[in-house]
């Protein structure tokens, strides 16, 4: 760290580099996807059939797969995360808050691939034995993904709760609130921003994860009709198809998937920004 003053122009430069990297990524994706988005291949791209050998490169099943999987993981993880945070800030015993937060913090250090490995050899056989099918399914990936995104949600909520809690401490005491009342009636309603940030980032993490669906979801390119069906996400599609010949439509479809994923995160961020400003 430099002694004395920090040069604002140097800081600005660093910020510009960081901010421009996102443009660079988008530019590259768009550049490589451009041949697919123009011309007749677009209609082949926006179909439900992925059969490269027959010249059909539909990526809609993967888009649907990504949304299904991320949505279901959020449905599981968000209430769980919210419950954990409320527990740590008033609904549970005070002594339990610190160790619990420690555990959740510790979860951030669990590698995705470890979740994938354990699920592949613990959860998959259980699902195979308990239900029908091969076990590689939406259900397996959804459950595992929920665990993966849980700490993201909890840690954001916790820091928000902490700030609000400190600000409302006196008010709550003056009103004679119990800790439970304080978290439910004051902290929670005042934490809208944190709630939304947690939701958006959790969803972003869920839809962007590659390894969990790649290892657990079975990767069949079709729309799942039940939680026991396999699915393929945009991310695992990219990982699977990056192999193909660099000029064919299959290759172009990779970058199209990339552009779609990018657009999804753009939309999430735009929505978030709007909500924040209201």
Within positions 75 to 134, which residues make up the interface with another protein, using CB under 8 A? 79-84, 86-88, 91-92, 96, 100, 103-118, 120-122, 125, 128, 132-134
Sign for the CA dihedral angle at 238, 34, 21, 206 comes to negative
User: Which is closer to another protein, CB of 46 or CB of 117?
Assistant: 117
Beta bridge partners of 51: 56
Instruction: Supply the minimum distance, in Å, between the C-beta of residue 37 and another protein.
Output: 15
> Which ranges of 5-137 does DSSP label H, i.e. alpha helix?
8-37, 41-45, 60-86, 94-107, 112-118, 124-130
Select 25 or 42, whichever has its Cβ closest to another protein.
Answer: 25
Dihedral pair phi/psi, residue 39, rounded to 5°: 85, -170
Binding mask 172-201 for another protein (x = CB under 8 A): --------xx--x---------------xx
Which of 37, 44, 265, 275 binds another protein (CB under 8 A)? It is: 265
Residue 67 vs 80, nearer CB to another protein: 80
Of 172, 152, 165, whose CA–CA distance to 89 is shortest? 165
Cα–Cα nearest to 225, from 77, 66, 68, 20: 68
DSSP-derived secondary structure letter, 91 = I
Rg of the chain (C-alpha set): 22
Rounded Cα gap, residues 91 and 182, in angstroms? 9
45, 215, 249, 256: residue in contact with another protein (rule CB under 8 A): 215
Nearest approach, Cβ of residue 270 and another protein (Å)? 9
- By CB under 8 A, residue 209 contacts another protein: yes
- 57's enclosing H/E stretch is strand 56-57
Residues between 137 and 166 that touch another protein (CB under 8 A): 147, 150, 159, 163
CB of 47 to another protein, least distance (A): 13
Tokens 């809609």, located at residue:
60
Cβ 36 to another protein shortest distance, Å: 14
Helix (H) or strand (E) holding 150: helix 138-175
Residue ranges in 224-263 that form contacts with another protein under rule CB under 8 A: 229-230, 232, 235, 238-247, 250, 254-255, 258, 261-262
> Within positions 32 to 61, which residues make up the interface with another protein, using CB under 8 A?
32, 50, 52-53
C-alpha span between 237 and 220 (Å, rounded): 10
Q: How far is the CB of 39 from another protein (least distance, A)?
A: 20
């Amino acid at each position: 760290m430099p002694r004395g003053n920090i040069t604002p122009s140097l800081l600005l430069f660093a910020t510009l580099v960081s901010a421009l990297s996102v443009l660079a990524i988008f530019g590259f994706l768009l550049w490589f996807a451009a041949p697919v988005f123009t011309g007749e291949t677009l209609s082949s791209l926006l179909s439900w059939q992925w059969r490269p050998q027959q010249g059909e490169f539909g990526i809609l099943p993967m888009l649907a797969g990504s949304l299904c999987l991320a949505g279901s993981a959020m449905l599981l993880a968000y209430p769980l995360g919210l419950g954990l945070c409320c527990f740590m800030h008033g609904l549970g015993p005070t002594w339990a808050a610190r160790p619990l937060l420690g555990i959740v913090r510790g979860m951030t250090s669990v590698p995705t691939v470890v979740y994938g490995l354990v699920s592949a050899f613990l959860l998959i056989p259980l699902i195979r034995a308990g239900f029908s099918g091969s076990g590689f399914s939406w259900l397996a990936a959804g459950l595992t993904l929920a665990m993966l995104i849980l700490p993201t949600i909890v840690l954001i909520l916790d820091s928000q709760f902490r700030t609000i809690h400190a600000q409302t401490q006196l008010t709550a005491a003056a009103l004679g609130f119990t800790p439970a009342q304080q978290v439910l009636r004051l902290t929670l309603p005042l934490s809208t921003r944190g709630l939304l940030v947690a939701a958006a980032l959790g969803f972003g993490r869920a839809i962007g994860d590659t390894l969990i669906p790649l290892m657990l979801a079975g990767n069949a390119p079709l729309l799942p009709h039940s939680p026991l069906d396999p699915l393929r996400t945009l991310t695992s599609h990219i990982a699977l198809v990056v192999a193909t010949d660099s000029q064919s439509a299959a290759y172009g479809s990779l970058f199209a998937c990339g552009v779609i994923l990018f657009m999804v995160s753009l939309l999430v961020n735009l929505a978030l920004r709007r909500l924040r400003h209201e």
